[in-house]
Structure formats: structure tokens, C-alpha cells
Amino acid sequence: MSKAAIEGPPKGGFSFDLCRRNEMLLQKGLNAPSFLKTGTTIVGLVFQDGVILGADTRATEGPIVADKNCEKIHYIAPNIYCCGAGTAADTEAVTDMVSSQLTLHRHHTGRESRVVTALTLLKSHLFSYQGYVSAALVLGGVDFTGPHLHTIYPHGSTDTLPFATMGSGSLAAMAVFESKYREGLTRDEGVQLVAEAISSGIFNDLGSGSNVDICVLTKGHKEYLRNHLQPNPRTYISEKGYSFSKKTEVLLTKITPLRDSIHIIEGGDEMEE
């Protein structure tokens, strides 16, 4: 019994077979599982000698902080890094996938990867999933053609910009960039400005928080500054401390030795052919 005439090779993208069943379940009152979103502030800017990327480190699940110190600046190639906002699994998966593809490509071509290659691979993947892969990315790197900074939206569109912000804290960070950005910043000025923009997201956006991560990319050199700033220490640690009484009791410890169940039969019949 076949529904379609001939089934070809799998075409990639999502299979929508279960959509009707999911719809029916939702109407019956099923709570759909929630996604871990990064509710984030991510930024990038181009400076004199290259590109600087920045990100906060809070991952949220609704109103709860799931991870206080996660890494949102992902490795794509030795000279290319990518910040990710949106669904954490999607940003991880898509950046890991493109990173692997570029490694193979480098072996194939014998050359350093270019930022536009990563850009094309990412945007065509996201477009083919029609926005269902919820990954909003800030891609930055330095290759032989120079420094590059791009934003990639979940539906697959891209922008090429001198400075960019994404995530729920993007407005707070962009306010800082629009006030203080200028061309030809030095490395220290650039790092300072990125840190300020991320801090603005951390303190003014509830979806962003904890620490500032920074990545400085220049020709032939990268500096990954994990937890460059830690402006949110725990405010109160009780001196006396708290203990939790053990509620479980060991009633009885009984060790049952395994029975010796090997019986050696002497002189059995030979196996027949």
C-alpha cells in the first residue's frame, strides 16, 4: 500500500507529517515542550585591524536562568567566529555543522577559509528550513580579503555591517554603538566599546545577564577572552551556611553472593555436523 507514486531520495528539510497530530494534541490541552532560548545580547564590530565579537553568558528557559555562564561565541574556523542568539540547540548545531564543513573544505582547497563561505553555508541552510531553525547569528572573521562582519537572520537573510547587534538585548547594545561607534577604532577602544554594549544588554535586558565574553580577530591571530568582565558577583553569602539533613536511611545492607552455577559435564556427545 503506497500513498505516493514513487518515493525519491530524502530531500532534506523538515518532514511535516506529524503536524496534524500535533495540532490535535494542542487542542486537547497538551502543553508543548518549551525550548531553551538564549535570550541574549550579541554584538560585533569592525575596528582598525580586524573584528571584535562580544556576547553575554545567560541562557534562559522562560523566566528561569538555565545556565549562568554559557558560551555563545562559537568556533567556525581558526580565523572565523560566530555569536549565536535564539534557540541554543539550533545555534550550537548549525555552527558545529558549518565548522565541520569548512574543515573538510580547507583540506580540499588547501587554503584558509573565507568568511563569505561560512556566510553562504549558514544562510542557505537556514533558508532551506524556512525560519524553523531559530538561529540569529553575528558572524565575524578576518581572511585574505580583509575583515568581515555579517548578521544572519533565522529565515536566511544577511547583512554586511561595520557594527551589529542581535538578540533580545540588541536594542540596548545598539543604543551604545550608535552613540559611540566610529571608524578606525584601536583594539583597546574596540574592546572597551564592545564590553560597554554587552554590559548595557546585561543590565537593561532581563533575557541577558552574568558575564561578558569577547573575541578579537585580527590577521593571523585570535584572542578569545572568556569572561573578560564579571560584573555580577553573588551579593550575599551567609557566613553560617546551610545544611540539609539526610533523609534517606540505610535500613539493611545485604550482600547476596552470586551462585556458582557452572556445572562441568564430563564426556558429552560430540556436536554433529
Site of interaction with another protein (CB under 8 A): 39, 58, 60, 63-65, 68, 168, 202-210, 231-232, 234-238, 240, 242, 244
Q: Which is nearer to another protein, 93 or 229 (CB)?
A: 229
Minimum distance from residue 182 beta carbon to another protein (Å)? 28
Q: Which is nearer to another protein, 75 or 203 (CB)?
A: 203
Q: Which is nearer to another protein, 154 or 209 (CB)?
A: 209
Minimum distance from residue 38 beta carbon to another protein (Å)? 13
Q: How far is CA 212 from the centre of its chain?
A: 15
On whether the CB atoms of residues 38 and 167 are closer than 8 A, the answer is yes
Q: Which residue in 40, 41, 57, 151 is the catalytic one?
A: 40
Q: Is 40 a catalytic residue?
A: yes
The per-residue b/e assignment along 144-179, b for 16 or more CB within 10 angstroms, e otherwise, is: eeebbbbbbbbebebeeeebbbbbbbbebbbebbee
On whether the CB atoms of residues 201 and 173 are closer than 8 A, the answer is yes
Q: What is the DSSP string of 65-77?
A: EEESS---EEEEE
Minimum distance from residue 89 beta carbon to another protein (Å)? 20
Minimum distance from residue 221 beta carbon to another protein (Å)? 31
On whether the CB atoms of residues 76 and 120 are closer than 8 A, the answer is no
Q: Which is nearer to another protein, 16 or 236 (CB)?
A: 236
Tell me which residues are annotated as active site.
40
